[in-house]
């Protein structure tokens, strides 16, 4: 669609606000960029579908087909499996009570890979595999940067757990994985490239330790959008798990991972009130529609709860959602002159698009995307919940 | 249910985590407390259903029947209307494009009250009433404390807009309303009582100005849980809109509105990882399950993203969710001794309940409540989206 057609479609009163708008041209550009990156690095792509939670987005990453994916909930696993995705990595340490549900997918034909960082959890997975008559692949989570979960690269428990898994019936010890979430505290190409090396080194070191102990380690998995974007050399790594790259967001822009014009996701909102005394234009997209994620709060550019754009997607300089209540978003300009222009440009009833701080959190408030594609607006469904 | 029975029900592996748990005994106590407050103050109760978004909760507020309610979305209006609620106030300035949808409810028999703070919006409502063949009641929003939307009490536009509405066919000018959202910056009984007076004075002054101008002003509506809880005298006010009081949350506790033992809502989570090196127990309730609302960040007690409780609802001193990723919640103790006790008390697979900062935001991630009632666990549905 041309810009003028996009603006006309999004202005239609048939479209209720707030709603979630996805720009397919930007999505496709983001997918192509990451495909080129992983091809250059020589690693397989296992996209993390937690961001889009949408099989149509994931299929686009594979040229229309399916491929290996990473999931953050068993509901995602079930939803993607039902649409033909067979190779599933549930990348959250498995709670023992979730094993029967995961086993059901494995029995139905999924390659179900689970993650552990604890000997007891590994034992629970092995026991469930036998009890449920299901085959699980199991990865050990490695802690690359102290961000969240996992065992540190040199921890002797890595070998102990792998050995126990390797000897257990019903499970296959498949390798190691890490998520360098600390990359979100790094800004710019040099810092993120260094963090990508740290992420790589953590799993490659763990894999070497396992192989030295005579154990297999087929999978050596890394993944975060900031590290993958700037990784220079992933020798020893087999696959990349990246999620938010499909949409990007203001946090990624602030980290230097993308430009504002790569952000494929926005919230369509309608102006509902003018508060000239406080310098605020109020829209009907608040904390639920935008999320309360203030991920840019400590960045060089604090976007509040979102950057305001015209309907064709062009950012309106200086206009940000500075405060949110449940169903109210308060937009302010950078200065008095900007405020005057804002009130003139955005009368009550006018619509804007708001770029989100954190695409994963914002998208989760919606059941579907309104997709700006070649053939006008389409509806693509999402899979929320657990 | 007895505490031991509650704990056993919530430990059942048949219950997937994360899920949203509602304690009916606490809900009922909260409802009874507010019913007593509004009875003492001599105002009608028009609960704001945006918190629970559940007809079963709203009916409980009216002893099993229906009554006047406040909604924050038209989807709530439609959902509650379908269950017999007839008197609906949509308490967000109406976007013109939403008027046909609101009109449909009015034609179906709802008393549909809308809110404006602008002459153009009022004109749009009046025009839509005629064009759509629907009768709307209209309230003017008053700004009591500079918090969000509305006209300041003495603003001459209040009379101008009311006069235009009073003269227009299809609409009835019904009165004035305000929401003293600034109450969330006040702590304790004295400050909140003073803020309740400010809220009352704002609408009572506007109502007097209207009546002095020969206009009707049947409805004089105020509402926030903190102000209503401590209001001493609401002379001149006709109704109270309160929302979060049904569940309460950590923000309300920090403001002095309730005790921790009044909080009826919690998120059930399972321990999935132990990080002894960083002093974190990790659960499967993260930013999506708890919300990223950090409403207690600047309070005397910063609860992080939630207070951790045992399965019977008893808070575990010092244990808070200090960090969240999408599906991971990181729990820390207040000190090293607490951390040691935490790892012993909460092995992998153990479950906890997490009290939310902001009940409205946390509940929005779920389609339903798991309700701890007299007859074991029930499922009560919610109405999300727009």
pLDDT tens column, B113-143: 999 999 999 999 999 999 999 999 999 999 9
Tell me which chain B residues have a C-beta less than 8 angstroms from the C-beta of A291. 292
Of B118, B270, B326, nearest to A360 by CB-CB distance is B326
Domain A3-21+258-381 class? mainly beta
Cα B186 to Cα A144, B179, B182: the distances in Å are 43, 14, 7
Query: Is beta strand B239-240 parallel, antiparallel or unpaired with respect to B219-222?
Result: parallel
- Picking from B120, B143, B287, the nearest residue to A361 by CB comes out as B287
Q: CB A97 to CB B270 under 8 A?
A: yes
H or E element in which residue B139 lies: strand B136-142
Of B270, B282, B326, the CB nearest to A50: B326
Which H helix or E strand runs over B196? helix B189-212
B73 touches chain A (CB under 8 A): yes
Q: What is the separation of C-alpha B14 from the centre of its chain, rounded to a whole number of angstroms? A: 30
Contact B349 A96 (CB under 8 A): yes
> B13: distance to nearest CA of chain A, Å?
5
Instruction: Tell which phi-psi region holds residue A64, choosing left (phi > 0), alpha (psi between -120 and 50) or beta.
Output: left
Domain B3-21+258-381 identical in fold to domain B27-246:
no
A83: closest CA of chain B, how far (Å): 23
Per-residue pLDDT in tens (0 to 9) along chain B, 386 residues: 788 899 999 999 999 999 999 999 999 999 999 999 999 999 999 999 999 999 999 999 999 999 999 999 999 999 999 999 999 999 999 999 999 999 999 999 999 999 999 999 999 999 999 999 999 999 999 999 999 999 999 999 999 999 999 999 999 999 999 999 999 999 999 999 999 999 999 999 999 999 999 999 999 999 999 999 999 999 999 999 999 999 999 999 999 999 999 999 999 999 999 999 999 999 999 999 999 999 999 999 999 999 999 999 999 999 999 999 999 999 999 999 999 999 999 999 999 999 999 999 999 999 999 999 888 899 999 999 99
pLDDT tens-place string over residues A5-28: 999 999 999 999 999 999 999 999
In chain A, the residue whose alpha carbon lies closest to the alpha carbon of B142 is A275
Question: Residue B371, CB half-sphere, CA atoms under 13 Å: how many?
Answer: 20
Give the pairing type, strands B280-283 and B329-332: antiparallel
Whether cis (ω within 30° of 0) applies to the bond prior to B159 is no
Alpha helices in chain A, H assignment, sequence order: 3-11, 24-41, 55-61, 74-82, 99-107, 119-132, 157-167, 189-212, 225-230, 250-255, 287-290, 336-345, 359-363
A251 touches chain B (CB under 8 A): no
B252: left (phi over 0), alpha (psi -120 to 50) or beta: alpha
Establish if A199 touches chain B: CB-CB under 8 angstroms.
no
- Fold designation for A26-246: TIM Barrel (3.20.20)
**B-chain residues near A73 (CB < 8 A):** 327
Buried/exposed B110-120: b ≥16 CB within 10 Å, e otherwise: bbbbbbbbbee
Closest residue to A325, CB basis, from B16, B100, B148: B148
Calculate the alpha carbon distances from A48 to A54, B51, B141 in Å: 11, 32, 45
Whether chain B has a CB inside 8 Å of the CB on A185: the answer is: no
**Exposed, middle or buried by CB within 10 Å (0-12, 13-18, 19+), for B25?**
middle
Chain A residues within an 8 Å CB radius of B125: none
Yes or no, beta carbons of A275 and B93 under 8 Å apart: no
CB-based contact, B100 to chain A, within 8 Å: yes
Per-residue pLDDT, B3: 84
pLDDT at A374 over 90: no
Q: Residues, chain B, total?
A: 386
Residue B62: the pLDDT is 97
Q: How far apart are CA B354 and CA A358, in angstroms?
A: 23
**Helix, strand, coil percentages for chain A (3-state, nearest 5):** 40, 25, 40
Around Cβ A124, how many Cβ atoms within 10 Å? Answer: 19
In sequence order, what DSSP letters do the residues of A190-250 get, joined into one string? Answer: HHHHHHHHHHHHHHHHHHHHHHHTT----EEEE--HHHHHH----TT--EE---GGGT--H
Are A93 and A150 within 8 A, CB to CB?
no
Residues of chain A in contact with residue B277, where contact means CB-CB under 8 angstroms, are 146, 152
Reported ipTM: the value is 0.97
Domain range list for chain B: 3-21+258-381, 27-246
CATH of domain B27-246: 3.20.20.10
Contacts of A93 in chain B (CB under 8 A): 272-273, 282, 348
Residues 330-359 of B with CB under 8 A from A: 330, 347-349, 358
Tell me how close the Cα of B72 comes to any Cα of chain A, in angstroms.
7
């Amino acid at each position: 669609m041309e810009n003028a057609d996009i603006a006309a479609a999004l202005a239609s009163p048939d479209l209720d606000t707030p709603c979630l708008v996805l720009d397919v041209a930007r999505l496709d550009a983001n997918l192509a960029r990451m495909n080129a990156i992983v091809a250059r690095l020589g690693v397989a792509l296992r996209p993390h579908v937690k961001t889009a939670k949408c099989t149509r987005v994931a299929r686009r990453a594979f040229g229309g087909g399916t491929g290996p994916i990473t999931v953050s909930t068993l509901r995602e696993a079930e939803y993607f499996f039902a649409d033909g995705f067979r190779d599933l990595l549930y990348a959250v340490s498995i709670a023992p009570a979730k094993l029967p549900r995961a086993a059901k997918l494995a029995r139905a034909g999924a390659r179900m890979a689970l993650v552990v960082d604890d000997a007891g959890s590994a034992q629970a997975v092995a026991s469930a595999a036998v009890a449920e008559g299901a085959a699980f692949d199991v990865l050990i989570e490695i802690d690359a940067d102290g961000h969240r979960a996992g065992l540190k690269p040199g921890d002797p428990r890595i070998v102990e757990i792998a050995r126990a898994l390797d000897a257990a019936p019903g499970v296959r010890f498949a390798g190691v994985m890490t998520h360098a979430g600390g990359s979100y505290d790094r800004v710019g190409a040099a810092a993120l490239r260094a963090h990508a090396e740290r992420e790589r080194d953590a799993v490659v070191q763990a894999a070497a330790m396992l192989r030295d102990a005579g154990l297999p380690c087929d999978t050596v998995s890394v993944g975060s959008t900031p590290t993958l974007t700037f990784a220079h050399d992933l020798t020893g790594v087999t696959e990349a798990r990246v999620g938010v790259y499909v949409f990007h967001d203001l946090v990624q822009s602030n980290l230097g991972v993308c430009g504002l014009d790569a952000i494929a996701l926005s919230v369509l909102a309608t102006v509902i009130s003018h508060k000239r005394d406080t310098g605020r234009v109020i829209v009907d997209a608040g904390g639920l529609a935008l999320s309360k994620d203030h991920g840019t709060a400590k960045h060089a550019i604090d976007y509040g709860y979102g950057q305001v754009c015209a309907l064709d997607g062009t950012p309106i300089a200086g206009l940000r959602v500075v405060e949110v209540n449940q169903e109210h978003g308060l937009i302010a300009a950078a200065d008095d002159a900007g405020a005057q222009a804002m009130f003139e440009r955005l009368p009550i009833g006018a619509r804007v698009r708001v770029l989100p701080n954190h695409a994963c959190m914002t998208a989760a408030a919606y059941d579907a995307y309104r997709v700006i594609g070649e053939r006008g607006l389409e509806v693509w469904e999402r899979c929320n919940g657990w």
